[in-house]
Chain A
Amino acid sequence: MEYFVIIISAIFVNNIVLAKFLGICPFMGVSSRLETSVGMTGAVAFVMVLATIATYLIQYYILVPLGIDFMQTITFILVIAALVQLVEIVLKKVSPDLYQALGIFLPLITTNCAVLGVAILTIQDKYNLPEAVVFSFATAIGFGLALVLLSSIRESLELVEVPKGMKGIPIAFVVAGILSMAFMGFAGLV
C-alpha cells in the first residue's frame, strides 16, 4: 500500500515536470517529436534510478558518518556526472542497440535538474532504499508521461495556425500550462 501511494503521488499528483517544475529544459527541448521523447524518457529512467541508489548509499554511508553532509550538492552532481559517463561507456560495449537508441540523450542528462532533484528529494523525504528506488522509477515514469503528452500535442500543433507571437516556445508553455491544470485534478487522490 505504501509503495502504491508513492507511485501514484510521483506520477500524477506531484508530477515532476508539471507540478514541481524540474526537468523543464529537456521537456521543452526534445518534446517537439514523439520519438525523441520516448528515447529521452528511457535514458532518464535508467540514469535516475541508478543515480538515486548511488547518491543514497553515499549520503548514508559516507557523508553522514563523516559529518560532512553540507558537501551534498557538490558530491551528488559529481556522482551523477560520473555515472552518466559510466553508463555511456558500458552501454556502448554491452548493448550497442540500446546505446544507439539512448546515446544522444545521455550527455544531456547531467544537466537535467530532475535527476539531481530526485536524488536530493529522496534524502529530504527520508525514504529508505527500496522506497527510494520505487520513488525514482515512478518519477521517471511521470516525467515520461508529461513528455509524451506534450510532444504528441506539439506534433499536431504544427498543423494548426498559431498566432504569430505565440509560435514556438510560448505556445508550448501554454500547452504545458493546460496539461498542468489537468494534472491538478489528481490533487485530491493521495
Chain B
Amino acid sequence: MNQWKNFTKGFVVENAVFVQVLGMCPTLGTTTSAYNGLGMGLATTFVLLMSNIVVSMVRNFIPDKVRIPAFIVIIASFVTVVQLTMQAYLPALYKELGLFIPLIVVNCLVLGRAEAFASKNNVWTSAIDGLGMGLGFTMALFMLGSVREILGAGSWMGFKFIQGDGMLLFVLAPGAFLALAYLISIMNKLSKKNA
C-alpha cells in the first residue's frame, strides 16, 4: 500500500471520530478546552503508535485464541507508561483529564487498530497507520475542544478574547453532544462533496 495514503487516511477518509465514530468517551469527556483535547489526543496517539508497533512485532507468536487479552495487556502497559509520565511532568493536565487517561485502555480505537490493522501488517506499515490514525483523532479532539472553548468560554488555547463567560452550555456536558453532532454532520457534508 502507498505509505503516504496509509498515513493520511486517518485524517479525513477514515477519521476515527467523524467517520468511524470510535473512541467517543474521551472525545466528549476531555474536550472542554482546545488544550485538553490536544493533550488527550497526543496521549492516545502515543499509545496507539506504540501498541501498533508491538502488536505487529509479536503478531506471529501469539495464538489466535488469546490474541485479544494479549493486545489488551500490551495496550495497558503503554497506558501505564503515559499515566506515570504525565503524572510526573504534566500534573495539571493529568488532573484535568483524570479518569480518561487509564480509560485509554478501553478506547475502541486503540484495540480496533490493533485487531484490524497491526495484527495483519508489518511493523513499519502498522507504525505509520498508528501515527496517522492517532493524529487524525488528535485533530478531531482539538477541533471539538476549540469549538467548545471558543463558544463556551470565549477563549482559545487559554487566550481570552471576550469579557466574562461565553455560552457556558458548551463547556458543560450537553454542549459536548451538540457540538459533536454538528461537527459530524458538517464533516459528512464536506466529505460527500469531495467524493
Q: Does A157 contact B (CB under 8 A)?
A: no
Do A117 and B173 touch (CB < 8 A)?
no
Q: Which residue of B lies closest to A181 (CB)?
A: B174
Do A78 and B73 touch (CB < 8 A)?
yes
Do A177 and B106 touch (CB < 8 A)?
no
Do A77 and B21 touch (CB < 8 A)?
no
Report A26 CB to chain B, min CB distance, Å: 10
With beta carbons under 8 angstroms apart, the residue of A74, A110, A121, A178 that contacts B174 is A178
In the complex, the number of residue pairs spanning A and B with C-beta atoms less than 8 Å apart equals 114
Majority secondary structure, B binding face: helix
Which residues of B, 40-96, contact A by the 8 Å Cβ criterion?
Answer: 68-69, 72-73, 76-77, 79-80, 83-84
Chain B positions within 8 Å of A171 at CB level: 181
Which residues of B, 140-176, contact A by the 8 Å Cβ criterion?
Answer: 169, 172-176
With beta carbons under 8 angstroms apart, the residue of A28, A77, A173 that contacts B178 is A173
Do B73 and A74 touch (CB < 8 A)?
yes
Take A169-B21, A173-B181, A177-B181 as given contacts and tell me if A21 and B80 are in contact as well, using a CB distance cutoff of 8 Å. no
Do B69 and A81 touch (CB < 8 A)?
yes
With beta carbons under 8 angstroms apart, the residue of A165, A174, A184 that contacts B172 is A184
Binding site for B on A (CB under 8 A): 18-25, 28, 70-74, 77-78, 81, 110-113, 116-117, 120-121, 124, 165-166, 169-174, 176-178, 180-181, 183-184
Q: Which 8 residue pairs across A and B have the least CB separation, nearest first? A: A177-B177, A173-B181, A21-B29, A24-B24, A74-B76, A177-B178, A180-B174, A170-B185
Binding site for A on B (CB under 8 A): 21-22, 24-25, 28-29, 68-69, 72-73, 76-77, 79-80, 83-84, 99, 102-103, 105-108, 111, 169, 172-178, 180-182, 184-186, 188-189
Q: List 16 A-B contacts (CB under 8 A).
A: A19-B173, A25-B24, A71-B80, A74-B79, A74-B105, A78-B69, A81-B69, A110-B106, A117-B103, A120-B99, A121-B99, A165-B189, A170-B185, A180-B173, A180-B177, A183-B173
